[in-house]
Structure 1
Amino acid sequence: MPALERIITQARDSLQRLGTPPSPGITALFGAGDGNAFSADDLRDLESFAAKLTQPAQADGVSQDLSSQLSDATKKLLSKYDASLRWQLQHALVEDLNRIIRSGPIYDPQRFASTKLSPETSSLLGQNPQGADLVRLNRALLLDAFPEELSESLGAGEVEQQVYVSFAYGRIYLVTAQAPREELNAVAVDRLRELVEETKAEVPGLNVGLTGEPVLENDEMAQSQKDTLVASIASLLICALIFIYGYQETGRPVKATLCLIVGLAYTLAFATLTIGHLNILTITFVPILIGLAIDYGVHLIARYEEELRHGKSEEAALTKAMVFTGQGIFTGGFTTAGAFLAMGLTDFKGIQEMGIICGGGLLVCLVPMMTLLPVLLLRGRQNVLDQELGDLAERRARIENLWLQRPVWVSVLTLALCGAAATQLRKVYFDYNLLNMQSAGLPAVVFEKKLIDSTPKSVLFAAVIATNLEQAMAWEARIKQLPTVSSVDSITGFLTEDQTRKLATVGEIKRELASICFGAPDPKPVDIPEFSRTLYVLSGFAGQALEEAQKEKPALAQQFVALKQSILDLRKEMLRGDDTRLATNSLKLAEFQRALFDDLRETFQALQNQDNSAPLRVADLPPALQHRFVGVTGKYLLMVYPKDDVWQRENQKKLIRDLQTIDPSVTGTPVQLYHYTDLLKNSYIQAAKYSLVAIAILVFLHFRSPLCVILALIPVGIGTLWLGGLMGWRGVPFNPANIMTLPLVIGIGVTNGIHILNRFAEEQTPSILARSTGKAVLVSGLTAIAGFGSLILAQHRGIRSLGYVMSTGIATCMIAGLTFLPALLSLLIRLSALKSKQPGAEVRPAAPGQEELRQKTSSVRIR
């Protein structure tokens, strides 16, 4: 009988630790509550705890209060406690502790004045918790008050005792799985999802989910594929509509779009040959290239139509467009591609792939745009309205004259905006936290956040590898003293502590269970009517127990009420339906019965076969513990849990610095996050430097003038400064995804200056917007904004931020190029005229169809 009572007690404790059991009947019977309950295993030092409760010190207010709330039965056991009463006292104290922490708030500032509260407890205390959170707080308070007597938690700190990894004081259990090879991760994730759905179907009400690095990578890649498809379609449609609306025709824009699609097909082949795969960032190359490569066709068609309006034949117009505007297209294409290709010179593999695919893709798309598009422009029905409406050109000319005639005011206003932007730059920072980039709605992300929020303890740990047990023990002792470390999980506690008492307990359990044996499982289907009658009898016994429990234990009475209701529900469900359904239920119950008794038999046999003749060895430990803490080479893992949130950069740095004083080769997720984000940021900064140098060289080779290099880069510098100011004003940080903006804005923004300076070198007039070049710069800028802006539709917050920052940067560079650069050129012409004493060299208002300024205004030439 004592053995049976002990087994029932242990079963009850196990169910409490398992959180929410699947069966309502079991829930009612064993009273598994909110998961914050104490268990018998939590009494780390029963003798010390009993001594404090029996004779609490005068200054120990917590022990005094706790002692006064103990039941009479527990007090009686305490008064005559000896080793023979250990089991009874353990479970009596557990029952009282759980009753106390569930009865209401136990915190009193005076009572806990001498107790040092942990940061987690203090944080929870300040949240004014209610319900299950209040029980959790009460439990944490007792753990802080009795650090030597009670276990630290039912979470990761007791992984070794429970084998299972648990969080939130036992409310969440973690099962880890690993694919045999990395390339099988996707297949493994799909199979795990099937198993989860099967488990949910078998155990209604069970809340199960998947998360972890392979799951997150798989889900975010799938989400990125969906986002890219939507962004690509949106980008293609918006760019085509901008092209059509800007040129008031459909034929030539459609031809350019077809050439773009051919170029994208070539790029897919190029990416397959060079890289062979896509990642979460490179998969976005399609909408990016749509917005950038369409610019080739925009500029070529704009100049072609302008020459047609000036009376040239189709062949002559196309020849002039290819000769003059084609130079700017090639230079602009190579500078933008150079910005991407500069990323290929960095040390970060993902950035290299992004640079190679997008940079190479821009060059590949240039081929059909400069070969196939000219052929298509000369074929088919030509536009019957190859004469631009005068009022549209005049309107653009009037707008442009607002700054061409006032270059000084434009310069002052530009400098003022630059100054205002500069004041906001200090607010721009780099967000190293990768959690802020994830797709918020993905199931894997939801469960990841739930896991992180479930415990004040970090779910990330640093990994320290010891070569032998002695080194593991020494390092663990030193690591626990570090100010940045919360706790250390390892296998050393099992193998080094004094196991005399545990071995005696194991021997006692073996003796108690020696007489228990299991018969062969019954292979026959369950007799439904007979089983129903048995349940009916059990319900009657529960009713009798209910009457007795109502007299002294109302809480227990409620459990019997729930048990009777569960029995009734089970009988109704079991007996419902026709004979076919009853036969199916009979087979299902038989299968469940066999599985249940197999589990019980294996559990009891494992207990009966325990070896208590010698201290534990590594081989004696459960396989789950061996796999977690001992490597295939025999080295030992120390899982170091940080005290602070290591998703934050500064906390990562402090933890790594402290751990490297003990083990310079420390690794683990916090270390990898630190070096990964650091390498990525530095790689993009390096790429920005490379692209700036490469672009400056290309611009110099094109214009053969250092002044032109400066003039072409001025809109980029101003636009980038405005971008930084807007980011600081709006509170948008850089992150590992949008930091790509640094090299790209240089490469994309400089093309505006190249086209404007190329036209100025040809005609020696700063008037741009009234001409085809200005309209092409405007339309190509809008299409580039559409290409990157389509990424804002993405669910992945990193890609979304890339779309926002890049589209803003392109817009600011375009505005600076279309306003300040022409105004600056106008101002330079005036200053040159004054210096040459040519007062007549004044910039006149731009007029539609004006080919060039008079020769006397050409004293500032680009050579």
Structure 2
Amino acid sequence: FAIHYLAKYLEFRHHDLELTPALMATSSSVGTGIVTAAVTTSLAFLCAMFTQFLGVAELGIIAGGGILICAATTFLVLPALVSLSDRSIEPRRLPTPFEGRLIRYLTGRFPAMVCLITLAAIIGTGLQGFEWSSGEVHSRVKYDSNLLNLQARGIDSVELQHRLFEESNGSLLYAVSLAGSPYEVRQRKDQFLELPSVGRVEELASYLPKYPPAETKLLIQAIHARLSRLSRLPSEYPQLDPKTVGAALENLYLQIRERKEPEAVAAAHDLDEFLDRLNAPEVPETVAVAGQIELLGRYQQAMLTALHAQFSALAKISDPNPMTPADLPHALRSRFLSSNGDWLIRVYPREQIWEEAPLEEFVTEVRTIDPEITGTPLQNYEAARQIRHSYFNASIYALAVILLTLLIDAMHGMPLVVTLGSPLAVLGFMWTTLEGAQDLPIRNLVIVYVVVAVIVAAIFDFVSVRNTFLALMPPVLGLFLMFGILGLTGIDLNPANLIVLPLILGIGVDDGVHVIHDYRMQRGTYRTSPSTINAITLTSLTSMVGFGSMMVSAHQGLVSLGIVLVVGVGSCLFISLVTLPALLTLVGAPHGGTEPDAASSTAGPMDQSGDSASPHVLPLRRTRDSA
């Protein structure tokens, strides 16, 4: 806003207006455009308050309020600062802004050719963002919800994280389900494991006895009584006869060999190799017998030691008193059992769920078992979905508010009242007569209101509706051109760069509003004023440089944000400076006049560029009657 104000102020000063008249003329000429741009952009951002995603809603409040504050300071603070700083400065010492003489010359002298070439380039490039596949049109610009793709590259921690995800068996993320009892935990675990997308389930109830204490108490008491008399290991072990053991093993081998089960085949193979080593023919018989005795003795000692250890451990845990969760380690209880008795179940996906398709499949399936299930996968899924829906709804509301604001800016009197009131009558009729109208989403009602308002406005004042849609050319065609460039370069949208879409919409609307107001301030053949070109160029370039600096960031999300915003704002800038002025030149004078009327307007400074541009109307705002 300040750039537009100062650009017009410098233009007036260079045409020999004194300080105070120049400030007054500036406020009169660009003031309406600044107010309209501020209101449209602010309301567009404030529409985000109607979305469900809190982050998007708060962004809209902050951005919308900030824009209004900036606009207010442009009129309340900036003129006072300029008055103090330029009080004793001659106009010739003030800087001369960029005037865009070549752009003004081409759009003024060859408007048809400029329109044809630029629109063909815009349409041809924009179509590159779409493709024809399987009889349907699909967008080549996808939405990448994988948060891993936003992280910095080449950092050890990030590389390690990627390696863990690639080499791990299944996902490291898990969903959380709560159950009221160990029985419910076991039942729900079996249900989760039957789902195709579930890899494993972790819970605490499996560490507790499956059967109730009343059914197992007598059995445990009997086991405990028998194991309490467990004898100690002998200090010496009896010597085994290799022939007796060998014959028994040979008989066992012959029986196992007849079985066809995989376990039996593997056991027969191992036993056959053992018997071959036991009867090695190259070893002398006396040495072989001694080795066999030693081998069997070591095996006997190891087997008895292992069995004794297992029986001893069984004796320790065969407590007749029933086991409770309090007997489990605190580290496990604190993770899987809450203080109010809720049992936690961790449900792990079978594969990585950072991509949208497997994540949606996993979330959909686990919710069939537990509709109240939660956890990081479900949070990621709901957040990504809410972000997309919130930005989509906010875009619909913003576009509706922008259209209505531009119509209010262009129309006056009774036609405006009828334009704004007629849609309410239509909605009231629908609400009372059409079945199901009460259940329509607010978004659909807003669309109906805007469509009816535009139709009614076109009946009363087609020129105002035409100018309104022309003001929307930079954001609409700019986004279309941006998507085409993104499709050509293979850059996708993601949770980080999706935020630039409302920014591009706001900047594009600002540009369009200022061009249309500049057009409405002139009579005769339209020629873009130097101050408008300078202001639009500076505001766009400062945004592109500011956000474009993110492209040197290591964080891939910030890099994509900078790229998308530079491409989007650059597209809006191109349309605002080239396509829209050329189209306005073809459209003709805003009110059908050819020369300025001294009775209805005050002629402003002539164009500095040397070509025959029409003079700019200064402070007074023309009405339809005066035109």
Secondary structure, counterpart of 1:728 in structure 2: helix
User: Which of the two has higher C-alpha Rg?
Assistant: 2
Corresponding residue of 2:382: 675
Q: Any conservation in 2 of the 1:338–1:747 contact (CA below 8 Å)?
A: no
CA deviation map 1:770-793 (0-9, x unaligned): 521111111111112123223334
Q: How does 1:847-858 map to 2 (within 5 A)?
A: 847-848=609-610, 852=614
Corresponding residue of 1:696: 403
CA deviation map 1:620-659 (0-9, x unaligned): 2111222222222222222111112211111111112222
Q: Any conservation in 2 of the 1:480–1:487 contact (CA below 8 Å)?
A: yes
- In 2, the alpha carbon distance for the partners of 1:471 and 1:392 equals 75
- In 1, the alpha carbon distance for the partners of 2:230 and 2:112 equals 99
Corresponding residue of 1:789: 548
Corresponding residue of 2:17: 312
Residues 853, 638 of structure 1: CA spacing in aligned structure 2 closer, same or farther, 3 A cutoff? Answer: same
Secondary structure, counterpart of 1:304 in structure 2: helix
- Residue 769 of structure 1 and its aligned partner are, at CA, apart by 5.1
Give unpaired runs (5+ residues) of structure 1.
1-295, 515-606, 836-844
Residues 831, 752 of structure 1: CA spacing in aligned structure 2 closer, same or farther, 3 A cutoff? Answer: closer
Matched, 1:422 2:127: yes
Residues 334, 794 of structure 1: CA spacing in aligned structure 2 closer, same or farther, 3 A cutoff? Answer: farther
Residue 323 of structure 1, aligned match among 2, 15, 28: 28
Q: How does 1:94-113 map to 2 (within 5 A)?
A: none
Residues 306, 853 of structure 1: CA spacing in aligned structure 2 closer, same or farther, 3 A cutoff? Answer: closer
- Residue 367 of structure 1 and its aligned partner are, at CA, apart by 2.7
- Residue 723 of structure 1 and its aligned partner are, at CA, apart by 0.7
- Residue 379 of structure 1 and its aligned partner are, at CA, apart by 1.7
Matched, 1:488 2:201: yes
- In 1, the alpha carbon distance for the partners of 2:363 and 2:398 equals 33
Residue 632 of structure 1, aligned match among 339, 349, 371: 339
- Residue 861 of structure 1 and its aligned partner are, at CA, apart by 12
- In 1, the alpha carbon distance for the partners of 2:229 and 2:610 equals 102
Residues 483, 509 of structure 1: CA spacing in aligned structure 2 closer, same or farther, 3 A cutoff? Answer: farther
Residue 408 of structure 1, aligned match among 102, 106, 112: 112
Matched, 1:744 2:449: no
Corresponding residue of 2:80: 375
- Residue 319 of structure 1 and its aligned partner are, at CA, apart by 0.3
Matched, 1:714 2:473: yes
Matched, 1:434 2:133: no
Q: Any conservation in 1 of the 2:129–2:485 contact (CA below 8 Å)?
A: yes
Q: How does 1:532-571 map to 2 (within 5 A)?
A: none
Corresponding residue of 1:386: 92
Corresponding residue of 1:338: 43
- Residue 349 of structure 1 and its aligned partner are, at CA, apart by 1.1
- In 1, the alpha carbon distance for the partners of 2:42 and 2:570 equals 19
Secondary structure, counterpart of 1:459 in structure 2: coil
- Residue 335 of structure 1 and its aligned partner are, at CA, apart by 2.1
CA deviation map 1:203-227 (0-9, x unaligned): xxxxxxxxxxxxxxxxxxxxxxxxx
Q: How does 1:724-735 map to 2 (within 5 A)?
A: 724-735=483-494
1:361 corresponds to which letter in structure 2? G
- Residue 715 of structure 1 and its aligned partner are, at CA, apart by 1.7
Give unpaired runs (5+ residues) of structure 2.
131-138, 234-312, 412-463, 595-606
- Residue 378 of structure 1 and its aligned partner are, at CA, apart by 1.6
Secondary structure, counterpart of 2:201 in structure 1: strand
Residues 512, 339 of structure 1: CA spacing in aligned structure 2 closer, same or farther, 3 A cutoff? Answer: farther
Corresponding residue of 2:319: 613
Residues 817, 789 of structure 1: CA spacing in aligned structure 2 closer, same or farther, 3 A cutoff? Answer: same
Q: How does 1:559-598 map to 2 (within 5 A)?
A: none
2:572 corresponds to which letter in structure 1? C
Secondary structure, counterpart of 2:588 in structure 1: helix
Q: Any conservation in 1 of the 2:552–2:559 contact (CA below 8 Å)?
A: yes
Residue 360 of structure 2, aligned match among 653, 656, 677: 653
Corresponding residue of 1:466: 179
Residue 520 of structure 2, aligned match among 761, 777, 783: 761
- In 2, the alpha carbon distance for the partners of 1:803 and 1:511 equals 75
Residues 795, 355 of structure 1: CA spacing in aligned structure 2 closer, same or farther, 3 A cutoff? Answer: farther
- In 2, the alpha carbon distance for the partners of 1:421 and 1:504 equals 80
- Residue 440 of structure 1 and its aligned partner are, at CA, apart by 4.6
Query: For the aligned residues, what is the CA RMSD?
Result: 3.8
CA deviation map 1:210-254 (0-9, x unaligned): xxxxxxxxxxxxxxxxxxxxxxxxxxxxxxxxxxxxxxxxxxxxx
Q: How does 1:8-87 map to 2 (within 5 A)?
A: none
Residues 323, 770 of structure 1: CA spacing in aligned structure 2 closer, same or farther, 3 A cutoff? Answer: closer
Secondary structure, counterpart of 1:486 in structure 2: strand
Q: How does 1:217-366 map to 2 (within 5 A)?
A: 296-366=1-71
Q: Any conservation in 2 of the 1:689–1:743 contact (CA below 8 Å)?
A: no
Q: Any conservation in 2 of the 1:727–1:733 contact (CA below 8 Å)?
A: yes
Matched, 1:449 2:162: yes
CA deviation map 1:284-321 (0-9, x unaligned): xxxxxxxxxxxx22111111111112222111111000
- Residue 674 of structure 1 and its aligned partner are, at CA, apart by 0.7
Secondary structure, counterpart of 1:464 in structure 2: strand
Secondary structure, counterpart of 1:483 in structure 2: coil
Q: How does 1:143-222 map to 2 (within 5 A)?
A: none
1:349 corresponds to which letter in structure 2? L
2:405 corresponds to which letter in structure 1? L
2:338 corresponds to which letter in structure 1? G
Q: Any conservation in 1 of the 2:504–2:569 contact (CA below 8 Å)?
A: yes
Residues 861, 386 of structure 1: CA spacing in aligned structure 2 closer, same or farther, 3 A cutoff? Answer: farther
- Residue 816 of structure 1 and its aligned partner are, at CA, apart by 0.4
Q: Any conservation in 2 of the 1:328–1:755 contact (CA below 8 Å)?
A: yes
Residues 729, 861 of structure 1: CA spacing in aligned structure 2 closer, same or farther, 3 A cutoff? Answer: farther
Secondary structure, counterpart of 2:178 in structure 1: strand
- In 2, the alpha carbon distance for the partners of 1:749 and 1:512 equals 90
- In 1, the alpha carbon distance for the partners of 2:155 and 2:182 equals 42
- In 2, the alpha carbon distance for the partners of 1:490 and 1:862 equals 81
Corresponding residue of 1:55: none
Corresponding residue of 1:772: 531
Secondary structure, counterpart of 1:308 in structure 2: helix
Q: Any conservation in 1 of the 2:201–2:348 contact (CA below 8 Å)?
A: yes
**Relative contact order (C-alpha < 8 Å, sep 6+): which is higher?**
2
Residues 442, 767 of structure 1: CA spacing in aligned structure 2 closer, same or farther, 3 A cutoff? Answer: farther
Could you tell me the percent identity over the aligned residues?
Answer: 29
Q: Any conservation in 2 of the 1:769–1:775 contact (CA below 8 Å)?
A: no
- Residue 794 of structure 1 and its aligned partner are, at CA, apart by 4.0
Residues matched between the structures, number: 461
Residue 806 of structure 1, aligned match among 560, 565, 585: 565
1:700 corresponds to which letter in structure 2? L
Q: Any conservation in 2 of the 1:768–1:774 contact (CA below 8 Å)?
A: no
- In 2, the alpha carbon distance for the partners of 1:409 and 1:491 equals 75
Secondary structure, counterpart of 2:614 in structure 1: coil
- Residue 366 of structure 1 and its aligned partner are, at CA, apart by 2.4
- In 1, the alpha carbon distance for the partners of 2:154 and 2:74 equals 40
Secondary structure, counterpart of 2:16 in structure 1: coil
- Residue 508 of structure 1 and its aligned partner are, at CA, apart by 8.3
Secondary structure, counterpart of 1:344 in structure 2: helix
CA deviation map 1:521-559 (0-9, x unaligned): xxxxxxxxxxxxxxxxxxxxxxxxxxxxxxxxxxxxxxx
Matched, 1:475 2:191: no
- In 2, the alpha carbon distance for the partners of 1:379 and 1:650 equals 62
2:565 corresponds to which letter in structure 1? M
- In 1, the alpha carbon distance for the partners of 2:64 and 2:70 equals 10
